[in-house]
């Protein structure tokens, strides 16, 4: 039993949006893998610390868009913000998938 079961109307937006982005995240993981090749976070073995650095870089790019908009006195570029958030989510999803797939990354002791 979850909160969504208690009040499905209240959480319908969450349930809908959750199912909509899964394929987009997979596509982003593939795009990033093809772009970065041997440096891809989809390649094994990849250390947890390496994944964290890349995830942090993507989070930083979200912060950059927000800060640039503020400093430049312009509205947040919603498309750019969304793109960076998808990259954050894709990186995290790939990390979770690696853990679920038995990747040794969680026992490597870091860099």
For residue 73 the two structure tokens come to: 């006195």
Least distance from Mg ion to the Cβ atom of residue 64, Å: 9
For the segment 22-51, give every residue that binds Mg ion (CB under 5 A): none
61 or 77: whose CB is closer to Mg ion? Answer: 61
Q: Among 65, 87, 94, 98, which residue sits at the site for Mg ion (rule: CB under 5 A)? A: 87
Which range binds Mg ion by CB under 5 A, 11-19, 42-50, 54-62, 99-107? Answer: 54-62
Of the two residues 4 and 83, which places its CB atom closer to Mg ion in the complex?
83
User: Are the beta carbons of 4 and 11 closer than 8 angstroms?
Assistant: yes
Of the candidates 33, 48, 39, which has an alpha carbon nearest to the alpha carbon of residue 99? 48
Instruction: For residue 49, give Cα distances in angstroms to 45, 69, 109.
Output: 12, 30, 9
In the complex with Mg ion, the residue whose CB is nearer, 80 or 99, is: 80
Q: Closest CB to Mg ion among 84 and 94? A: 84
- The closest alpha carbon to 41, from 86, 96, 102, belongs to 96
Helix (H, G, I), strand (E, B) or coil at 37: helix
| Interface ranges with Mg ion (CB under 5 A) | 58, 61, 84, 87
């Amino acid at each position: 039993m979850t909160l969504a079961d208690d009040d499905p109307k209240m959480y319908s937006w969450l349930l809908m949006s959750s199912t909509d982005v899964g394929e987009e995240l997979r596509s982003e993981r593939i795009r990033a893998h093809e772009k970065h090749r041997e440096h891809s976070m989809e390649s094994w073995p990849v250390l947890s610390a390496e994944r964290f650095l890349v995830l942090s870089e993507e989070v930083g790019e979200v912060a950059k868009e927000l800060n640039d908009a503020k400093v430049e006195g312009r509205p947040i570029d919603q498309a750019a913000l969304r793109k960076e958030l998808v990259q954050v989510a894709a990186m995290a999803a790939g990390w979770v998938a690696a853990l679920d797939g038995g990747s040794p990354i969680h026992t490597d002791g870091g860099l």
